[in-house]
């Protein structure tokens, strides 16, 4: 069970990382880098990120979950997606 | 990119075209003179289900797909830009309620909007705040089971007749959106004079003087007002405005094609002059590129693709600039008569300018497109 969660987590993180790499050309992100603080992200990108998460992982984010304060790093985004996917199971 | 327009969408386009010819075109002069869209037009828009096009069926709407919506606005944009913009505003409010509202709020407001018994408005701009919404001055203070709203809004389309306002404010320095009913104590609505274009928009200023809003009227949550509610509503507004601009461009082209076939100078029709042909060519190509960007944005919206946000922005940017150039050329081609109210092109020119300012100005898009390149 724990192994499955870890492998899911890796897969999710790698998909999100790929998305960032495609969208923020030429920038390598660390797991705990604050994407907003680094000035990488603006409101337009944040909207695209929400659409990406919803489409790629087949989840619907609640209004409460789209708190930009709480999805600032790759790790935070990955945990949010994992939590939602687990709830769906 | 494969753009596929369904038979159903084409049928809707034909129906809307007939509606515009029958119900809007004959009223254009009165919209211009009176500075308002008459109750009769509003009830015909509702009667023909045009106000509920984006509303889910369970709340009394039609819930049409994005490409159908594009064709609808393209046709309306050829008729009168204020009518097109009225539907844009309705669409923005509907988007805000459907994406952030709770079940109670949806049930309460959406059926009325679809039926035309609730006219909604979108209240973001203020006298000191336009593009920079983070600097908003209207504030909401949380009380016991309610919020106290204080501040002002300006340039609010449909404000003169709206029954329901989505009002954006800062609460504890975070963005928030509220559903505010017209008869709420502390809210006063002051009609504004029409602007030189979009003369039928029925603009108003809103003043909130310790206006008490029940907690149940908070749309979304504190903190999601700008990033979620406003951002996605404005995205919807950009899309339909872009499509309205395509319609406006087409209206400029149609008027110009008609005129170059009628007017002779130097013994030949204007259409024979190569410099006139240059203007016509630019109009045609620019309309087509704007249309393609709109349809591409529409296709991506249907797929819920993240890049739909960027394509929508580019579509609005390009289509509103295109409409300005098309209107400019249309006046040039008409010469003096183009500057008189005898021909519609002077209205197109006035309306096109405003389309470059509303739902985000050209300069703001230039910054955003550059920062978020789509390659
Ligand atoms: C007919 C009409 C209907 C409207 N309806 C509504 C409505 O229903 N609801 C609503 O909330 N508002 C409405 N508005 C207001 C509209 O949304 C604003 O006009 C728009 O957001 C621009 O704001 P502003 O006019 O205050 O211009 P400002 O933000 O003051 O900008 C002025 C100029 O400076 C430029 N500028 C600003 N910032 C920058 C920058 N950082 N870099 C470069 N250039 C910059 C802008 O592009 C613009 O050219 C309406 C306006 C009109 C004319």
Cross-strand pairs, B166: B122, B179
Say yes or no: B56 contacts chain A, CB-CB below 8 A: no
The interface residues of chain B toward chain A in range 306-345, judged by CB-CB distance below 8 A, are 306-310, 313
- Which pLDDT score, from 0 to 100, does residue B58 have? 98
Which DSSP string do the residues of B49-111 spell out, in sequence order? Answer: TGGGTTS-GGGT-----HHHHHHHHHHHHHH-HHHHHHHHHHHHHHHHHHHH--HHHHHHHHH
The answer to whether the Cβ–Cβ distance between A51 and B305 falls below 8 Å is: yes
Q: Which residue has the higher pLDDT, A2 or B112?
A: B112
> Cα–Cα distance between B328 and B240 in angstroms, integer?
22
Q: Is the pLDDT of residue A42 over 90?
A: no
- Which pLDDT score, from 0 to 100, does residue A38 have? 64
Say yes or no: B97 contacts chain A, CB-CB below 8 A: no
Average pLDDT value for chain A: 81
Say yes or no: B305 contacts chain A, CB-CB below 8 A: yes
Residue nearest atom 23 of ligand 1, based on CA coordinates: B130
Nearest Cα neighbor of B68 from B79, B76, B57, B60 is: B76
Q: Which of A44, A51, A66 minimises the CB distance to B313?
A: A44
Say yes or no: B131 contacts chain A, CB-CB below 8 A: no
For chain B, 375 residues long, give each residue's pLDDT as a single digit of tens. 678 999 999 999 999 999 999 999 999 999 999 999 999 999 999 999 999 999 999 999 999 999 999 999 999 999 999 999 999 999 999 999 999 999 999 999 999 999 999 999 999 999 999 999 889 999 999 999 999 999 999 999 999 999 999 999 999 999 999 999 999 999 999 999 999 999 999 999 999 999 999 999 999 999 889 888 999 999 999 999 999 999 999 999 999 999 999 999 999 999 999 999 999 999 999 999 999 999 999 999 999 999 999 999 999 999 999 999 999 999 999 999 999 999 999 999 999 999 999 999 999 999 888 887 787
CB B166 less than 6 A from any atom of ligand 1: no
Q: Which of B220, B306, B375 minimises the CB distance to A63?
A: B220
- Which pLDDT score, from 0 to 100, does residue A5 have? 65
- Which pLDDT score, from 0 to 100, does residue A25 have? 67
Residue A75 Cα to ligand 1 midpoint, Å, equals 37
- Which pLDDT score, from 0 to 100, does residue A41 have? 56
Q: Is the pLDDT of residue A40 over 70?
A: no
Say yes or no: A43 contacts chain B, CB-CB below 8 A: yes
- Which pLDDT score, from 0 to 100, does residue A2 have? 61
DSSP at A66: -
Residue B180 Cα to ligand 1 midpoint, Å, equals 23
List of residues 6+ apart from A37 with CB closer than 8 A: A72
List of residues 6+ apart from B80 with CB closer than 8 A: B24, B25, B27, B28, B31, B200
- Which pLDDT score, from 0 to 100, does residue B104 have? 98
Residue B131 Cα to ligand 1 midpoint, Å, equals 5
> Cα–Cα distance between B88 and B360 in angstroms, integer?
13
A1: pLDDT confidence band, cut at 50, 70 and 90? Answer: low
Cβ–Cβ pairs < 8 A, chains A and B: 55
CB B127 less than 6 A from any atom of ligand 1: no
- What does the pLDDT look like over A3-28, one tens digit per residue? 666 678 899 999 998 888 888 766 77
């Amino acid at each position: 069970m724990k192994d499955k969660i870890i492998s899911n987590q890796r897969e999710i993180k790698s998909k999100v990382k790929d998305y960032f790499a495609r969208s923020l050309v030429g920038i390598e992100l660390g797991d705990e880098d604050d994407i907003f603080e680094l000035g990488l992200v603006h409101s337009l990108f944040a909207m695209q990120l929400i659409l990406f998460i919803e489409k790629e992982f087949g989840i619907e984010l609640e209004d409460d979950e789209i708190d930009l304060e709480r999805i600032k790093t790759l790790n935070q985004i990955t945990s949010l997606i994992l939590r939602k996917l687990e709830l769906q199971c | 990119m494969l753009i596929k327009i369904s038979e159903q969408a084409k049928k809707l386009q034909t129906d809307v075209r007939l509606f515009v010819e029958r119900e809007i075109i004959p009223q254009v002069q009165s919209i211009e003179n009176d500075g308002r869209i008459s109750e009769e037009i509003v009830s015909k828009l509702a009667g023909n289900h045009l106000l509920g096009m984006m509303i889910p069926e369970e709340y009394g709407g039609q819930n049409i797909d994005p490409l159908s919506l594009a064709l609808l606005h393209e046709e309306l944009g050829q008729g009168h830009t204020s009518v097109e913009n009225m539907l844009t505003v309705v669409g923005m409010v509907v988007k805000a309620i459907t994406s952030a509202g709770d079940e109670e709020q949806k049930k309460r407001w959406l059926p009325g909007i679809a039926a035309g018994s609730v006219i909604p408005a979108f209240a973001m701009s203020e006298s000191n705040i336009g593009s920079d919404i983070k600097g908003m001055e209207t504030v909401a203070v949380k009380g016991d089971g309610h919020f106290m709203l204080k501040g002002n809004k300006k340039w609010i389309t449909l404000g003169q007749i709206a029954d329901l306002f989505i009002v954006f404010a800062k609460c504890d320095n975070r963005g928030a959106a509220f559903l505010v009913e017209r008869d709420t104590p502390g809210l006063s609505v002051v009609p504004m004079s029409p602007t030189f274009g979009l003369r039928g928009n029925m603009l108003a200023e809103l003043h909130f003087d310790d206006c008490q809003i029940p907690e149940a009227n908070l749309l979304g949550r504190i903190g999601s007002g700008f990033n979620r509610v406003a951002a996605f509503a404005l995205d919807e507004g950009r899309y339909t405005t872009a499509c309205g601009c395509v319609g406006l461009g087409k209206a400029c082209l149609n008027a110009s094609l008609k005129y170059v076939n009628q007017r002779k100078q130097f013994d030949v029709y204007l259409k024979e002059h190569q410099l006139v042909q240059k203007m016509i060519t630019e109009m045609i190509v620019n309309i087509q590129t704007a249309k393609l960007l709109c349809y591409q944005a529409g296709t991506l919206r249907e797929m819920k693709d993240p890049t739909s946000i960027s394509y929508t922005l580019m579509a609005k940017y390009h289509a509103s600039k295109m409409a300005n150039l098309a209107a400019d050329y249309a006046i040039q081609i008409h010469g003096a008569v183009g500057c008189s109210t005898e021909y519609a092109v002077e209205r197109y020119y006035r309306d096109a300018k405003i389309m470059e300012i509303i739902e985000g100005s050209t300069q703001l898009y230039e910054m955003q497109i550059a920062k978020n390149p789509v390659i």
